[in-house]
Structure 1
Amino acid sequence: MEHDEVDALAARWEAAGMAPSLIAGLELSKRMSRINMLFEQALKGELAALGLTYAEFDVLAALARTAPPYRMKPSELARSLMLTSGGTSNVLQRLTTAGYVERSADDGDGRSRWVQLTPEGLKVATSALDTAVRANTDVLAGVPEPVVRQAADALREILLIVGRRRVR
């Protein structure tokens, strides 16, 4: 079996006397972080060429995945992207300044506002989503599809258990 950089860490953890179950959890965490970093690195350069940060892409993509008129409330965006309200507000300000989103009052609730993609924002979001597909395809090139499916299914099981515990 071929080894990765996490295997070297695991050997040190084992030598330090850590429990096998703890080592397995740390290996999982480190490998997930490493894979996520590789996905983000592949995408960040492409997004920079579009003039977007990763956070801005996330917001545009979330809005583009909604049904027309491509809008959400800021609190919904923050929740769906797991961002703080302050972080969301900063990103929305930059996207508003760029002309990619606009904010409007919610006619049904005077205290609430909508964030909506502008036509230009939809174009940029579509382009960025196409870029994300290419970046993900490039990162996973050479990984057999059944291996990807098995890993995705295993991570779903873990996330369902861990996610339920975190919510409480």
Structure 2
Amino acid sequence: MSSLSLAQHAVRLQTLLERHIAEVLKQHGLSRSELDVLGALAGGPARPQELSSQLLLTTGGISNILRRLEADGHITREANAKDARSNIVRLTPQGEAIARETGDAVTEVIDRVLGPVDASVVSAAADHLHRVLVALGEDAPVHRGPTR
């Protein structure tokens, strides 16, 4: 029963947070997936395949997201000198700014939503969920907190 309870609580919290996050993303003109890609790239350049794997997106999905982000001037793609079959994706200065601005706004709204919860409870819950993800082999960098 505790595994079902964990799943139900995690989904309910995610749903609650997503309602508020969706408004912030709308104001900044980004989808959740686009923000996730920008956030991942804040850690440094990456190949599309790495982004796809890290963010649990299909290769077709990541291609569409990269196309939109490139058209908006948030990223650049360049040939990979080590592997002619792939390219390297990097943030532009504009992309860095929008990633930071939107990431800060999302963090602010999450902090506001979780404000009534004691900080030690939030910290313990985050630690426990981290351990669950590690045990499941799902501790991708996207789960380790905001990249700054």
TM-score normalized with structure 2 length = 0.86
1:147 aligns with 2:126: no
Does residue 26 of structure 1 match 2:4? yes
Q: Distance in 2 between matches of 1:104 and 1:49?
A: 30
**Pairing of 1:97-116 with structure 2 (within 5 A):** 97-116=71-90
| 1:76 alignment partner in structure 2 | 50
Aligned to 2:77, the other structure's residue is in SS state strand
Following TM superposition, by how much is the alpha carbon of 1:94 offset from its aligned partner in structure 2, in angstroms?
0.9
Aligned length: 138
Q: Distance in 2 between matches of 1:152 and 1:25?
A: 16
Q: Which residue of 2 aligns with 1:129?
A: 103
Distance (Å, rounded) in 2 between the aligned partners of 1:157 and 1:104:
37
Residue 142 of structure 2: aligned partner: none
Deviation at 1:154, TM superposition (A): 1.9
Kindly provide the amino acid, as one letter, of the partner of residue 18 in structure 2.
E
Q: Secondary structure at the match of 1:104?
A: strand
Identity of aligned residues (%): 38
CA distance, structure 1, for counterparts of residue 82 and residue 134 of structure 2: 35
**Could you give the per-residue CA deviations for residues 118-142 of structure 1, whole angstroms, max 9, x where no partner exists?**
1211111111111121012112111
How many angstroms apart in 2 are the aligned matches of 1:152 and 1:119?
A: 31
Q: Deviations over 1:43-102 (max 9, x none)?
A: 1111111111111111111111x1xxx411101111111111111111111111111111
Distance 1:157 1:59 in 2: 24
Q: What is the SS of the residue equivalent to 2:87?
A: strand
Cα shift at 1:110: 1.3
SS across alignment from 1:163:
coil
Separation (CA, whole Å) in 2 of partners of 1:149 and 1:98: 36
Match of 1:90 among 64, 88, 92: 64
Distance 1:153 1:98 in 2: 36
Larger Rg: 1
- Structure with the greater relative contact order (CA < 8 A, sep ≥ 6): 1 or 2? 2
Deviation, 1:163, is 3.0
Question: For structure 2, which runs of at least 5 residues remain unmatched after alignment?
Answer: 139-148
- Aligned amino acid, residue 125 of structure 1: A
Whole-angstrom distance in 2 between the partners of 1:61 and 1:161: 24
- Gapped runs of 5+ residues in structure 1? 1-22
Superposed CA RMSD in Å reads 1.4
